[in-house]
Amino acid sequence: MRRCERCGTSTWHLCSGIRYEKSERAADWYMKRMYWNCMNCGQSSEESKEVPEPTERVMLVKRLLKVGEDYDVKGVKIESDANTVTVKVEFPEYDPARLRRLAYKLSEENFMNVSELMELYKAGFRSQEELEKLLLRPMRYRRKENIGRAVFD
């Protein structure tokens, strides 16, 4: 919630853009400008604040967190202390690519032998709905919520 000048009260806003500017090349901070629009009346407003320059560590952690979005993993856990960053990637017990092939097979040929069916079943894909989710996986279906949060001290 932000205060809207036109509405005269706090309203929900949508962020329409973010820009980082560096006023002096030697400065160790950036000016972060955020552009907001009131969801009630559309009035635009701007918010600026100084943010510290991202460190190598921050940039690395951001990149590592993306691993969880780009690969079919169960979870990514990142711990960061003193001078180390530790990444722990957990894979699902099943092979996602293989299961996806089985799901395709089932949806296209409508036939599957018992052991293949059991394989899907054991991995937790037990209904038509679950199988459809599996087929959507390459489109990053619900991967976001599997990503562990970075732990900072």
CB neighbours (10 Å) of residue 97? 10
Q: Looking at beta carbons only, is 37 or 146 nearer to Zn ion?
A: 37
Query: Total binding residues for Zn ion by CB under 5 A?
Result: 7
Q: Looking at beta carbons only, is 11 or 146 nearer to Zn ion?
A: 11
> What is the end-to-end Cα distance of the chain in Å, rounded?
29
Q: Looking at beta carbons only, is 1 or 26 nearer to Zn ion?
A: 1
Q: Partners of 90 in the beta sheet?
A: 75
Residues 6+ positions from 39 with CB-CB distance below 8 Å: 11, 12, 13, 14
Residues 70-99 interacting with Zn ion (rule: CB under 5 A): none
- Shortest approach of Zn ion to residue 13 CB, angstroms? 8
In 3D space, the residue among 33, 49, 47, 41 whose CA is nearest the CA of residue 11 turns out to be 41
Residues 3-42 interacting with Zn ion (rule: CB under 5 A): 4, 6-7, 38, 40-41
Q: Looking at beta carbons only, is 4 or 103 nearer to Zn ion?
A: 4
- Shortest approach of Zn ion to residue 43 CB, angstroms? 4
- Shortest approach of Zn ion to residue 37 CB, angstroms? 9
Question: From CA 43, how far away is CA 52, in angstroms rounded?
Answer: 29
* Positions that interact with Zn ion (CB under 5 A): 4, 6-7, 38, 40-41, 43
